[in-house]
Amino acid sequence: DIQMTQSPASLSASVGDSVTITCQANQDITNFLNWYQVTPGKAPKLLVYDKSNLETGVPSRFSGSGTGTHFTLTISSLHPEDLGTYYCQQYDRLPLTFGGGTKVDLK
């Protein structure tokens, strides 16, 4: 199975800060990467698919980039509703696998 490693495991930031989350694959996954936000009590939400495509309705402050084995999700200006845990997920090979998550909270 392809292993996905996220860093940091958690971070604290202030409203308005730029936040970057990294996801590393243990083998080349080309651009086959998606990003999700999970907030307690809510259904997980797809943010970015195919490395850099914003899902419909996702604010433009979110962006995804990277290629090969190294990917990033950036929130250009953190809003209070952005708090939660973020997961990357590869789909280069089955089984689909997720990173361990990055928890974002307010400083």
Partner 1 sequence: QVLLQESGPGLVKPSETLSLTCIVSGGSIGSHYWSWIRQSPGKGLEWIGYINHSGTTTYKSSLKSRVSMSVDTSKNQFSLKVTSVTAADTAVYYCARERITVSGILIKHYYAMDVWGQGTTVTVSS
Of 14 and 81, nearer to partner 1 (C-beta) is 81
| CA distances (Å), origin 2, targets 23, 32, 69, 72, 79 | 12, 12, 11, 17, 32
- The total number of residues shown for the chain amounts to 107
Of the pair 75, 99, the CB lying nearest partner 1 is at: 99
Q: Are strands 19-25 and 4-7 parallel, antiparallel or unpaired?
A: antiparallel
DSSP string computed for 70-93:
EEEEEESS--GGG-EEEEEEE-SS
Q: Give whichever of 66 and 99 is closer to partner 1, judged by the CB atom.
A: 99
Which residues of this chain interact with partner 1, rule CB under 8 A?
Answer: 1, 32, 34, 36, 38, 42-46, 49-50, 55, 87, 89, 91, 94-101
The minimum distance between CB 14 and partner 1, in angstroms, equals 26
**Smallest distance from the beta carbon of 48 to partner 1, in angstroms?**
9
Neighbours of 3 (CB within 10 A): 12
User: C-beta of 52: minimal distance to partner 1 in Å?
Assistant: 12
Q: Which is nearer to partner 1, 14 or 36 (CB)?
A: 36
